[in-house]
A and B are shown apart, each in its own frame.
Chain A
Amino acid sequence: MSKDKKLILSILVENYSGTLSKVSGLFTRRGYNIDSLNVAETQDPNISRITVAVTGDSYIIEQITKQLHKLINVIKINILTENTSVQFELMMIKVNSVGAKRSEIIQIVDIFDANIVDVSSKNMIIVVTGSEDKNNSFLHLLTPYGIVEMTRTGPTALERG
């Protein structure tokens, strides 16, 4: 067995009801793990793109791809790696920002090219986009200030060129 790899499957599907359930159900059923999944319409309203981050060895990845191809509503599957694609994920963090902490946090936000989208007397909400690594470092730097709530999307990606 070869080593586990992290990959992104970019799946174009016909936009019928139940398609997302068929795709995600297939992963559960065949015992493949999904790290993250996101889905949205493309420029063609009849077609959606499902972006799934998976971890697996080459046998698993091959099996996933073949089984996905069998789904009637799946049109195309691209396997994306960090070298062949541009990958972004979005993260929103509500962080405690009382008193002098606030200006320190604003400095970090500047460095990471993030955005403050909501400010109250106690907290602020920050949006950051970028690679998983970048977002992890950002989260790491904000943790000492006290994370109240957070959410992140998992990567979405497009093939380069």
Chain B
Amino acid sequence: MRIKAAEAIIKCLEAENTNVIFGYPGGAVLPLYEALRSSNIKHVLVRQEQSAAHMASGYGRALNNVGVCLATSGPGSTNLITGIATAYMDSIPLIAITGQVDSTSIGRDMFQEADIIGATESFTKNSYLVKNAKEIPRIFKEAFYIASTGRKGPVLIDIPRDIQDTYIDFEYPSEINIRGYKPTLSGNTRQVKRAVDLINKSQRPVICAGGGIRAAEANDALIKFVEKSKIPVVCSLMGVDAFPNDNPYFAGLLGSHGYNFVNKSMNESDLLIVIGARFADRSTSMIHKSSLTRNVIHIDIDPAEIGKNIETKIPIVGNAKDILNDLLDYDYELNTKSWLSELQQKRKNYMEKLFAHDTPLNPKKLINKISQFMGNDGIWVSDVGINQIWAAHSFTVSGSKRFFTSGGLGTMGYSLPASIGAKIALPNTKVVASMGDGGFQMLMSDLAIAREQNAGVKFIIFNNGYLGMVRELQKNTYNENSYFGITLGFSPDFMKLADAYNIKGIKISTDEEVDDAITEMFKDNEPFILECIIDPEISSVPRLGGRKHE
């Protein structure tokens, strides 16, 4: 079939079951938009390209599929960058398609020309500059495969405008053969056996579950393994939704902004089983170095993560689900009763104190209440800042509930577009986004999409008038006299803004108003803004944070 390359691109997307594209048009993607016009793929016009990448990321994450975003050359493509880097750090599959100036003009600093391949090299899993239109079917086949297999991540395809207008013989390849890309999925049997032996010798083992659990859809396998082996579980920020919180084996959140007792218990454990986690600085900074050099079993799909941040006794490379199923084939004779009850007691004490803040409106209590209201289903999308820590601590995971956040890059503004993307993917699922007044104002222009697309996200804005996390860091690193550059001196009236966007909203400032607000918020499937006036002195976690300035 002889068709224009632009049409071929749309056919490739259709072959990959792409139903929605988040994009922003421009001169260098005109042929592509012309082809898109007559296709069945829905186009969501964002208000800023960064949101297109976050929306595609939220959309893909909700469906466990690959999201697609599209932008024109130059500023269109550079605006995507933060969204692409966010997806890369959290291993979220994403296809970013960018237009480029004519292939014959590249390098001449044409209008809206930017070297987007060069600019995104360090945070794309792979990227392609299409130089020959005939390569388009192969490139798209490879791109979707690379984005969604192994350690998932974003792939960028940069397509010059003249290439889009070239006629090619189109046939979508059915097979794929990339010589340099053969991800390991099943774990080495010998290593699995060694791991079982080490587990059976341990007395105080802990599993640390990361984002790799959900990425591999290994959550059920993890529950089965935990219940069989009787090993308690802690999670990283990316692993908040890896394990149900109501399961008796669940201890809590690890890391510099995690639960204090969880970090302490890591020092007291004699075996650490890390599954699908990088164990980066934020996870390990509160743990003694010596505990990290004891017995570590590290299970990860990316061999480069093993041994990068912590020394590993037994590395197992592969898909978390496959390896957990392998581990399930063995018998375990662990006696973790006293270790577990010790952790359970500590968790109970911690949770009692977690909500004990004597302020008119307690954000943690509010998150917890809404989370309970959601039941066993729904998606919570958290922004970045102290509100991220409140959400990670107070959101309760059970059933099929999900928790999305920008864990690696820590991108403020992520939650608003990502939640809209998730809601477009799953219109009948409850989607709640929580953010600070700083993060909200970063990409609030895309509120228009929530209205336009009838994406009934419930937005919660914690308004404390400050950039709370930086304020806290300044206080803890220097002192109270060192606050600088963190006051949001003017913000619009968020309720009037809601009204301007034709979105309903309520502003509350006390705990007593919360129940009625929840009823009002969830009475229909429309977008809603809940503005919460928060005392700026409420910190991320009770003790904490920042290195003391010497």
Interface residues of A (CB under 8 A from B): 13-14, 17-18, 21-22, 25, 29, 62-63, 66-67, 69-75
Contact = CB atoms under 8 A, between A and B. Distances in A.
Contacts of A71: 126, 180
B121 interface: yes
Interface stretch (B194-202, B303-311, B371-379, B416-424): B303-311
B127 to A, nearest CB: 7
B181 interface: yes
A44 B378 CA distance: 53
A5 to B, nearest CB: 18
Contacts of B180: 13-14, 71-75
B443 interface: no
Given A69-B303, A70-B302, A72-B146, A21 B179 contact: no
Nearest to A46: B179
A14 B181 CA distance: 11
A17 B303 contact: no
B489 interface: no
A78 to B, nearest CB: 14
B118 A70 contact: no
The 7 closest A-B pairs by CB, nearest first: A66-B304, A72-B126, A75-B180, A75-B179, A72-B181, A74-B180, A29-B122
Nearest to B126: A72
B129 A18 contact: yes
Contacts of B307: 62
Contacts of B302: 70
B95 to A, nearest CB: 14
11 contacts: A18-B129, A21-B118, A22-B121, A29-B122, A69-B303, A70-B304, A71-B126, A71-B180, A72-B125, A72-B146, A75-B180
Contacts of A72: 125-126, 146, 178, 180-181
B279 to A, nearest CB: 15
Nearest to B179: A75
Contacts of B181: 72
A14 B304 contact: no
Contacts of B304: 63, 66-67, 69-70
B117 A18 contact: yes
A13 to B, nearest CB: 7
B303 A66 contact: yes
A73 B129 CA distance: 14
Contacts of A69: 303-304
Contacts of B121: 18, 21-22, 25
Given A67-B304, A72-B181, 4 more contacts: A17-B129, A17-B131, A18-B121, A75-B180
A72 B146 CA distance: 8
Contacts, number: 39
A73 B178 CA distance: 8
A111 to B, nearest CB: 44
B328 to A, nearest CB: 28
Interface of B: 117-118, 121-122, 125-127, 129, 131, 146, 178-181, 302-304, 307-308
Nearest to B135: A16
A63 B302 CA distance: 12
Contacts of A70: 302, 304
A69 B180 CA distance: 8
A70 B127 CA distance: 13
A36 B74 CA distance: 34
A25 B180 CA distance: 18
A30 to B, nearest CB: 9
A62 B312 CA distance: 14
Residue with the highest number of chain B CB atoms closer than 10 Å, among A63, A67, A72: A72
Contacts of B127: 18
Nearest to A62: B307
A73 B179 CA distance: 8
B493 to A, nearest CB: 44
A159 to B, nearest CB: 19
Contacts of A18: 117, 121, 127, 129
B85 to A, nearest CB: 13
A66 B11 CA distance: 36
B179 A14 contact: yes
B104 to A, nearest CB: 15
Nearest to A67: B304
Contacts of B129: 17-18
A21 B118 CA distance: 8
Nearest to A71: B180
Contact of A25 (B122, B126, B178, B308): B122
Q: Which of B118, B178, B180 has the most CB of A within 10 A?
A: B180
A67 B118 CA distance: 18
Contacts of B126: 71-73
A70 B121 CA distance: 13
Q: Give the most central of B125, B126, B303: most A CB within 10 Å.
A: B126
A81 B121 CA distance: 30
A17 B121 CA distance: 13
Given A70-B302, A72-B180, A72-B181, A63 B118 contact: no
Nearest to A63: B308
A120 B456 CA distance: 82
Nearest to A25: B121
Contacts of A25: 121-122
A130 B308 CA distance: 37
A17 B126 CA distance: 12
Contacts of B122: 25, 29
Contacts of B118: 21
A75 B125 CA distance: 15
Question: Which of B118, B178, B179, B302 has the largest count of A CB atoms less than 10 A from its CB?
Answer: B179
A69 B182 CA distance: 10
A64 to B, nearest CB: 10
A35 B303 CA distance: 26
A69 B117 CA distance: 20
A69 B179 CA distance: 12
A25 B118 CA distance: 9
Contacts of A17: 129, 131
B296 to A, nearest CB: 16
Contacts of A13: 180
A62 B306 CA distance: 11
